[in-house]
Structure 1
Amino acid sequence: MEPRQERSRATRRRLLDAAILCLAEVGWSGSTVALVAARAGVSRGAAQHHFRTREDLFVAALRHAGAARVGEMRRHAAGLPTGRERTEAVVAMLVDAYTGAEFAAGVQLWAAAANAPALRAQVLPLEEDVGRQAHRAAVELLGVDEGAPGVRESVQACLDLARGLGLAGLLTDDGPRRERVVRQWAVMLDAAVGAARSPVR
């Protein structure tokens, strides 16, 4: 790759990372393109060269963060245990995916989109795409056959549970309760999808 292209990619990455942190820390109303550019260490003109509008910037940032998180989960697949222990490990991994700055930023964008039709039109396809990726990764990590009765719904319920626990954790330190819920949900999920697990798992 040419140095100019590499510099352009590096600038884009810095902008995306800075956008996530801005959204998580100061919310949608406080997250301007100028603030993101300053935090990324680039000019506002450089930011607008990469992203035509404020909405484009923040939607791209959430898309980037979502894909990175799913990729990270897949990279950890080889280290997962087998059998029922695998189910709990996967549930814990999915719950952890709905914590941190990326999730906090996502919540800020969702809340803003709820009352802004133009932003909502961009956020909905993003959420559908990220949701599909997360669902596919969960099925792969659990090692189950999604075609078996109830598996798809059980996996989706797990993702919905993880999002709910993430929301609860935004306001308080919900760690101890979250651990208990993860253990119990893993037992219930294993009972629901265990028969659909590949024998090699």
Structure 2
Amino acid sequence: MSNAQAVREPRQDRSRATRQRLLEAAVDCLSSLGWGRTTVAVVAERAGVSRGAAQHHFRTREELVTAAVEYGTEVRLQRVREHLNALAGRRLPTLDVLTMLAEMYTSPLFRAALQLWVAASSDEQLRAQVVPLEARVGRAAHRLTVEALGADESVPGVREAVQATLDLVRGLGLADLLTDDSARRSRLLRQWASTLDLVLRDHTA
């Protein structure tokens, strides 16, 4: 390895680490402060980097927070996938799958994503970035849910049941925004697990 390569690789590592700190700080700020107070300067301060360093990676606030929500979502989905892989082919009980999904939709990341959606609803430029992001996230979450449930979507009604499951956990995430809705959420998840088991019975992959 040349001296130039030796210098360049640690520099690239530092750059990646800085970018990751910015993304994590942006999710944190968006979740706790909201869209209006999440500026590049505030995120940079929370990440412990200069504003100039932040703008080297992300030119605008919109670019930063969209990338942050995408990064956070990928991390959470990957953790779920790793958990499923660790089961070595064994299927989780339906209630465990629903609980795992509900945790995703009551997390700070979901709160951050909601802030982004609300801002995008009245900002055409931001919406142009957020809509394709949400489409990708939605497809990934759907695939993961199908896998976790062992569902066969070729069976009539199963795909709709999976979609209803995702709509349910998103709605429960919204219900948890202002008050602790955990007790009601647990009851609803138990009931939906029983209903979903009836739909999936004899039709699991």
Alignment of 1:35-74 (within 5 A): 35-74=42-81
Does the alignment pair 1:118 with 2:149? no
Q: Is contact 1:144-1:193 (8 Å) kept?
A: yes
Closer/same/farther in 2, CA of residues 80 and 151 from structure 1, 3 Å limit: farther
Letter in 2 for 1:111: V
1:168 aligns with 2:175: yes
1:79 CA displacement: 4.2
Letter in 2 for 1:31: T
**3-state DSSP of counterpart to 1:171:** coil
Number of aligned residues: 197
Map 1:82-161; keep pairs closer than 5 Å.
86-161=93-168
What is the CA-CA distance between 1:76 and the residue it aligns to? 1.5
2-structure distance, mates of 1:79, 1:28: 38
Deviation for aligned residue 1:6 = 0.7
- Over 3 Å counting, the alpha-carbon distance change for 1:181 and 1:81 in structure 2 is farther
Larger Rg: 2
CA distance in 2, matches of 1:142, 1:106: 25
Shift in Å, 1:188? 0.8
> TM-score normalised to the size of structure 1?
0.93
Report the alpha carbon displacement of residue 80 of structure 1 after superposing the two structures with TM: 9.3
Closer/same/farther in 2, CA of residues 168 and 81 from structure 1, 3 Å limit: farther
Which residue of structure 2 lines up, in the alignment, with residue 23 of structure 1?
30
1:194 and 1:50 map into 2 onto residues whose CA distance is: 49
Look up the SS of the partner of 2:130 in the other structure: helix
- Partners in 2 of 1:186 and 1:139 — Cα distance? 14
Richer in helix (by share): 1
**TM-score, length of structure 2 as denominator length:** 0.91
SS of 1:28's equivalent in the other structure is coil
CA RMSD, 1 decimal: 1.6
Unaligned runs of 5+ in 1: none
Deviation track 1:122-173 (CA, whole Å, cap 9, x = no partner) reads 1111111011110000011111222221221111110110000001001111
Letter of the 1:58 partner, please give it.
V
- C-alpha separation between the residues in 1 aligned to 2:186 and 2:90? 20
Could you tell me which runs of 5 or more consecutive residues in structure 2 were left unpaired when the two chains were aligned.
1-7
